[in-house]
Structure 1
Amino acid sequence: MRALLLALMLLAGSSSALVGVFAGAAWAVLPDEVLDDPALEARARELSKGLRCLVCQNESIDESNASLARDLRLLVRERLVAGDSDEEVIDYIVERYGEFVLLNPTTGGANWLLWAAGPAMLLLALGVGVFYVRGRSSAVAETESGLSEAEQARLRDILKDG
Protein backbone atom coordinates (compact mmCIF):
# COMPACT_ATOMS: atom_id res chain seq x y z
CA MET A 1 0.00 0.00 0.00
CA ARG A 2 2.81 2.39 0.88
CA ALA A 3 4.61 1.60 -2.37
CA LEU A 4 1.43 2.37 -4.32
CA LEU A 5 0.96 5.65 -2.46
CA LEU A 6 4.61 6.58 -3.06
CA ALA A 7 4.26 5.77 -6.77
CA LEU A 8 1.14 7.92 -7.00
CA MET A 9 2.96 10.80 -5.31
CA LEU A 10 5.86 10.53 -7.72
CA LEU A 11 3.52 10.38 -10.71
CA ALA A 12 1.63 13.42 -9.53
CA GLY A 13 4.86 15.43 -9.41
CA SER A 14 3.75 17.29 -6.33
CA SER A 15 3.56 15.27 -3.19
CA SER A 16 1.78 18.02 -1.27
CA ALA A 17 -1.13 18.10 -3.74
CA LEU A 18 -1.63 14.35 -3.55
CA VAL A 19 -1.24 14.28 0.21
CA GLY A 20 -3.92 16.97 0.35
CA VAL A 21 -6.26 14.70 -1.59
CA PHE A 22 -5.68 11.74 0.70
CA ALA A 23 -5.53 13.73 3.93
CA GLY A 24 -8.68 15.71 3.26
CA ALA A 25 -11.76 15.65 5.43
CA ALA A 26 -11.18 12.09 6.58
CA TRP A 27 -8.15 13.08 8.66
CA ALA A 28 -9.19 16.61 9.65
CA VAL A 29 -11.92 15.58 12.10
CA LEU A 30 -10.20 13.71 14.90
CA PRO A 31 -11.88 10.75 16.61
CA ASP A 32 -12.16 12.61 19.92
CA GLU A 33 -14.27 15.30 18.19
CA VAL A 34 -16.90 12.92 16.82
CA LEU A 35 -20.23 12.99 18.67
CA ASP A 36 -21.86 9.78 19.91
CA ASP A 37 -25.20 10.69 18.32
CA PRO A 38 -24.94 10.01 14.56
CA ALA A 39 -27.69 12.53 13.74
CA LEU A 40 -25.93 15.33 15.64
CA GLU A 41 -22.61 14.34 14.07
CA ALA A 42 -24.14 14.50 10.59
CA ARG A 43 -25.52 17.97 11.35
CA ALA A 44 -22.14 19.06 12.72
CA ARG A 45 -20.34 17.81 9.60
CA GLU A 46 -22.84 19.58 7.34
CA LEU A 47 -22.47 22.86 9.24
CA SER A 48 -18.67 22.52 9.26
CA LYS A 49 -18.61 22.28 5.47
CA GLY A 50 -20.12 25.78 5.22
CA LEU A 51 -17.73 27.47 7.66
CA ARG A 52 -14.38 28.86 6.52
CA CYS A 53 -11.15 28.05 8.30
CA LEU A 54 -9.85 31.47 9.34
CA VAL A 55 -6.26 30.25 9.09
CA CYS A 56 -6.40 28.45 5.73
CA GLN A 57 -9.14 30.70 4.27
CA ASN A 58 -9.78 28.42 1.28
CA GLU A 59 -10.86 25.37 3.23
CA SER A 60 -13.85 24.61 5.33
CA ILE A 61 -13.25 23.82 8.99
CA ASP A 62 -14.31 20.27 8.16
CA GLU A 63 -11.29 19.90 5.83
CA SER A 64 -8.70 21.92 7.73
CA ASN A 65 -6.13 20.57 10.16
CA ALA A 66 -5.47 23.99 11.75
CA SER A 67 -5.95 24.25 15.49
CA LEU A 68 -8.45 27.11 15.07
CA ALA A 69 -10.50 24.93 12.73
CA ARG A 70 -10.51 22.23 15.40
CA ASP A 71 -11.70 24.77 17.96
CA LEU A 72 -14.50 25.85 15.63
CA ARG A 73 -15.52 22.23 14.99
CA LEU A 74 -15.67 21.66 18.75
CA LEU A 75 -17.68 24.86 19.18
CA VAL A 76 -20.19 23.73 16.55
CA ARG A 77 -20.56 20.39 18.33
CA GLU A 78 -20.93 22.09 21.74
CA ARG A 79 -23.73 24.29 20.45
CA LEU A 80 -25.51 21.34 18.83
CA VAL A 81 -25.29 19.29 22.04
CA ALA A 82 -26.67 22.32 23.93
CA GLY A 83 -29.76 22.08 21.72
CA ASP A 84 -29.19 24.96 19.28
CA SER A 85 -30.71 24.75 15.83
CA ASP A 86 -28.47 24.90 12.76
CA GLU A 87 -29.34 28.58 12.24
CA GLU A 88 -28.58 29.42 15.87
CA VAL A 89 -25.17 27.74 15.62
CA ILE A 90 -24.30 29.66 12.45
CA ASP A 91 -25.57 32.93 13.94
CA TYR A 92 -23.50 32.35 17.10
CA ILE A 93 -20.31 31.73 15.12
CA VAL A 94 -20.94 34.67 12.76
CA GLU A 95 -21.54 36.91 15.78
CA ARG A 96 -18.17 35.89 17.23
CA TYR A 97 -16.03 35.78 14.07
CA GLY A 98 -17.88 37.94 11.53
CA GLU A 99 -19.40 37.04 8.18
CA PHE A 100 -16.00 36.16 6.75
CA VAL A 101 -16.32 32.79 8.48
CA LEU A 102 -19.09 31.82 6.03
CA LEU A 103 -17.92 30.13 2.83
CA ASN A 104 -21.10 31.41 1.13
CA PRO A 105 -21.71 34.90 2.52
CA THR A 106 -25.24 36.24 2.66
CA THR A 107 -26.56 38.74 0.13
CA GLY A 108 -28.22 40.91 2.77
CA GLY A 109 -27.00 44.13 4.31
CA ALA A 110 -23.96 45.78 2.76
CA ASN A 111 -22.98 42.54 1.00
CA TRP A 112 -25.48 43.23 -1.78
CA LEU A 113 -23.03 45.88 -3.01
CA LEU A 114 -20.27 43.29 -3.31
CA TRP A 115 -22.56 40.80 -5.06
CA ALA A 116 -23.79 43.47 -7.49
CA ALA A 117 -20.37 45.03 -8.20
CA GLY A 118 -19.29 42.40 -10.74
CA PRO A 119 -22.38 42.56 -12.95
CA ALA A 120 -22.51 46.36 -12.58
CA MET A 121 -18.90 46.69 -13.75
CA LEU A 122 -19.64 44.40 -16.71
CA LEU A 123 -22.63 46.53 -17.74
CA LEU A 124 -20.58 49.70 -17.32
CA ALA A 125 -17.77 48.30 -19.49
CA LEU A 126 -20.26 47.24 -22.17
CA GLY A 127 -21.81 50.71 -22.14
CA VAL A 128 -18.43 52.40 -22.50
CA GLY A 129 -17.52 49.99 -25.31
CA VAL A 130 -20.75 50.65 -27.22
CA PHE A 131 -20.34 54.42 -26.76
CA TYR A 132 -16.75 54.26 -28.02
CA VAL A 133 -17.58 52.13 -31.08
CA ARG A 134 -20.55 54.33 -32.03
CA GLY A 135 -18.43 57.44 -31.63
CA ARG A 136 -15.72 55.99 -33.86
CA SER A 137 -18.14 54.95 -36.58
CA SER A 138 -19.86 58.36 -36.73
CA ALA A 139 -16.63 60.38 -36.65
CA VAL A 140 -15.71 62.29 -39.77
CA ALA A 141 -12.76 60.66 -41.43
CA GLU A 142 -9.84 62.93 -42.11
CA THR A 143 -9.15 63.21 -45.80
CA GLU A 144 -5.73 63.58 -47.23
CA SER A 145 -5.68 66.92 -48.94
CA GLY A 146 -2.29 66.46 -50.55
CA LEU A 147 0.34 69.13 -50.91
CA SER A 148 -0.49 72.72 -51.58
CA GLU A 149 0.89 74.44 -54.71
CA ALA A 150 3.65 76.13 -52.69
CA GLU A 151 4.67 72.82 -51.09
CA GLN A 152 4.73 71.07 -54.48
CA ALA A 153 6.95 73.83 -55.91
CA ARG A 154 9.34 73.60 -52.95
CA LEU A 155 9.48 69.80 -53.35
CA ARG A 156 10.34 70.13 -57.06
CA ASP A 157 13.13 72.56 -56.19
CA ILE A 158 14.57 70.19 -53.63
CA LEU A 159 14.45 67.24 -56.02
CA LYS A 160 16.17 69.23 -58.80
CA ASP A 161 18.98 70.25 -56.49
CA GLY A 162 19.54 66.74 -55.17
Structure 2
Amino acid sequence: MVKIIKDISDRPLKEIVEDKWEDRVVYIRNKIRKSYLDQISLLEYYYFLGEHLEEKRWSRNSRCFIKEKFSKEAFKYVWKSAKKVYKLYKTQGVHNLLTVQHTTTNTLNKLSVNDYSLLLSEAHKVREEELNMFLDLFTPFAEAQASLISFAEAQV
Protein backbone atom coordinates (compact mmCIF):
# COMPACT_ATOMS: atom_id res chain seq x y z
CA MET A 1 0.00 0.00 0.00
CA VAL A 2 2.84 2.43 0.85
CA LYS A 3 4.43 1.86 -2.57
CA ILE A 4 1.12 2.59 -4.29
CA ILE A 5 0.74 5.84 -2.34
CA LYS A 6 4.22 6.90 -3.59
CA ASP A 7 2.85 6.72 -7.13
CA ILE A 8 0.33 9.50 -6.28
CA SER A 9 2.70 12.51 -9.33
CA ASP A 10 4.68 13.84 -16.88
CA ARG A 11 4.48 12.70 -20.48
CA PRO A 12 1.36 13.62 -22.44
CA LEU A 13 -1.64 11.33 -22.25
CA LYS A 14 -2.59 9.31 -25.27
CA GLU A 15 -5.39 10.66 -27.40
CA ILE A 16 -8.38 8.72 -28.67
CA VAL A 17 -9.82 10.29 -31.80
CA GLU A 18 -12.67 7.98 -32.85
CA ASP A 19 -15.93 9.88 -33.44
CA LYS A 20 -18.56 7.67 -31.85
CA TRP A 21 -18.58 6.56 -28.21
CA GLU A 22 -18.89 2.92 -29.23
CA ASP A 23 -15.92 3.18 -31.62
CA ARG A 24 -13.77 4.78 -28.92
CA VAL A 25 -14.67 2.01 -26.48
CA VAL A 26 -13.83 -0.68 -29.05
CA TYR A 27 -10.51 1.06 -29.73
CA ILE A 28 -9.76 1.08 -25.98
CA ARG A 29 -10.80 -2.57 -25.70
CA ASN A 30 -8.39 -3.50 -28.49
CA LYS A 31 -5.58 -1.69 -26.68
CA ILE A 32 -6.37 -3.31 -23.32
CA ARG A 33 -6.29 -6.76 -24.91
CA LYS A 34 -2.73 -6.27 -26.20
CA SER A 35 -0.37 -8.29 -24.02
CA TYR A 36 2.69 -6.15 -24.73
CA LEU A 37 1.41 -2.91 -23.18
CA ASP A 38 3.52 -1.42 -20.43
CA GLN A 39 1.74 -0.85 -17.12
CA ILE A 40 1.41 2.91 -17.56
CA SER A 41 -0.27 2.51 -20.96
CA LEU A 42 -2.57 -0.15 -19.57
CA LEU A 43 -3.58 2.09 -16.67
CA GLU A 44 -4.15 4.93 -19.16
CA TYR A 45 -6.50 2.83 -21.25
CA TYR A 46 -8.41 1.66 -18.17
CA TYR A 47 -8.68 5.31 -17.15
CA PHE A 48 -10.02 6.22 -20.59
CA LEU A 49 -12.51 3.36 -20.44
CA GLY A 50 -13.67 4.62 -17.04
CA GLU A 51 -13.91 8.14 -18.43
CA HIS A 52 -16.10 6.91 -21.29
CA LEU A 53 -18.26 4.89 -18.91
CA GLU A 54 -18.61 7.96 -16.71
CA GLU A 55 -19.90 9.85 -19.77
CA LYS A 56 -22.75 7.34 -19.80
CA ARG A 57 -23.03 7.43 -15.99
CA TRP A 58 -21.98 3.76 -15.78
CA SER A 59 -25.42 2.97 -17.20
CA ARG A 60 -26.93 -0.43 -17.83
CA ASN A 61 -26.59 0.12 -21.60
CA SER A 62 -22.89 0.95 -21.32
CA ARG A 63 -22.40 -2.07 -19.06
CA CYS A 64 -24.12 -4.32 -21.63
CA PHE A 65 -21.99 -2.86 -24.42
CA ILE A 66 -18.78 -3.56 -22.49
CA LYS A 67 -20.03 -7.03 -21.58
CA GLU A 68 -20.44 -7.82 -25.28
CA LYS A 69 -16.87 -6.73 -26.02
CA PHE A 70 -15.11 -8.91 -23.44
CA SER A 71 -15.41 -12.51 -22.33
CA LYS A 72 -17.51 -13.13 -19.23
CA GLU A 73 -14.43 -13.60 -17.03
CA ALA A 74 -12.60 -10.61 -18.48
CA PHE A 75 -15.65 -8.34 -18.19
CA LYS A 76 -15.70 -8.43 -14.38
CA TYR A 77 -12.01 -7.60 -14.18
CA VAL A 78 -12.25 -4.88 -16.84
CA TRP A 79 -15.31 -3.23 -15.26
CA LYS A 80 -13.75 -3.22 -11.79
CA SER A 81 -10.39 -2.02 -13.11
CA ALA A 82 -11.90 0.80 -15.15
CA LYS A 83 -13.92 1.98 -12.17
CA LYS A 84 -11.03 1.86 -9.69
CA VAL A 85 -8.41 3.38 -12.00
CA TYR A 86 -10.79 6.13 -13.13
CA LYS A 87 -11.87 7.07 -9.59
CA LEU A 88 -8.29 7.10 -8.29
CA TYR A 89 -6.78 9.19 -11.07
CA LYS A 90 -9.81 11.46 -11.39
CA THR A 91 -9.27 12.21 -7.69
CA GLN A 92 -5.51 12.71 -7.75
CA GLY A 93 -5.15 14.11 -11.26
CA VAL A 94 -4.88 12.12 -14.45
CA HIS A 95 -1.38 13.46 -15.14
CA ASN A 96 -0.16 11.31 -12.24
CA LEU A 97 -0.88 8.21 -14.30
CA LEU A 98 2.23 8.88 -16.31
CA THR A 99 4.70 8.44 -13.48
CA VAL A 100 3.41 5.39 -11.62
CA GLN A 101 5.94 2.82 -10.53
CA HIS A 102 4.01 0.45 -8.27
CA THR A 103 0.33 0.80 -9.11
CA THR A 104 -1.18 -1.85 -11.36
CA THR A 105 -4.72 -2.89 -12.11
CA ASN A 106 -3.99 -6.11 -10.21
CA THR A 107 -2.82 -4.28 -7.08
CA LEU A 108 -5.85 -1.98 -7.18
CA ASN A 109 -8.25 -4.89 -7.63
CA LYS A 110 -6.68 -6.84 -4.78
CA LEU A 111 -7.10 -3.98 -2.31
CA SER A 112 -9.87 -4.42 0.24
CA VAL A 113 -12.71 -1.90 0.18
CA ASN A 114 -11.18 -0.20 3.24
CA ASP A 115 -7.69 -0.03 1.74
CA TYR A 116 -9.05 1.36 -1.54
CA SER A 117 -11.03 3.98 0.40
CA LEU A 118 -7.85 4.91 2.29
CA LEU A 119 -5.98 5.18 -1.00
CA LEU A 120 -8.68 7.49 -2.43
CA SER A 121 -8.57 9.56 0.74
CA GLU A 122 -4.78 9.85 0.50
CA ALA A 123 -5.02 10.77 -3.19
CA HIS A 124 -7.55 13.47 -2.32
CA LYS A 125 -5.24 14.86 0.39
CA VAL A 126 -2.24 14.89 -1.93
CA ARG A 127 -4.27 16.62 -4.66
CA GLU A 128 -5.48 19.22 -2.19
CA GLU A 129 -1.88 19.86 -1.06
CA GLU A 130 -0.80 20.26 -4.70
CA LEU A 131 -3.57 22.79 -5.33
CA ASN A 132 -2.77 24.71 -2.14
CA MET A 133 0.91 24.81 -3.09
CA PHE A 134 -0.05 26.16 -6.53
CA LEU A 135 -2.28 28.80 -4.95
CA ASP A 136 0.52 29.77 -2.54
CA LEU A 137 2.83 30.26 -5.52
CA PHE A 138 0.22 32.04 -7.61
CA THR A 139 -1.03 34.53 -4.98
CA PRO A 140 2.18 36.61 -4.74
CA PHE A 141 2.40 36.64 -8.53
CA ALA A 142 -1.21 37.86 -8.82
CA GLU A 143 -0.60 40.52 -6.16
CA ALA A 144 2.55 41.71 -7.93
CA GLN A 145 0.70 41.83 -11.23
CA ALA A 146 -2.11 43.87 -9.64
CA SER A 147 0.48 46.30 -8.24
CA LEU A 148 2.06 46.70 -11.68
CA ILE A 149 -1.33 47.38 -13.25
CA SER A 150 -2.11 49.98 -10.57
CA PHE A 151 1.29 51.58 -11.11
CA ALA A 152 0.80 51.64 -14.90
CA GLU A 153 -2.66 53.16 -14.54
CA ALA A 154 -1.29 55.83 -12.19
CA GLN A 155 1.31 56.76 -14.81
CA VAL A 156 -1.34 57.46 -17.44
Relative contact order (C-alpha < 8 Å, sep 6+): which is higher?
A: 2
Q: TM-score range by the shorter chain?
A: 0.3 to 0.5
Kindly indicate which of the two structures has a greater share of residues assigned to helix: 2
Structure with higher Rg: it is 1
Q: TM-score, normalised by structure 1?
A: 0.37
Q: TM-score, normalised by structure 2?
A: 0.38
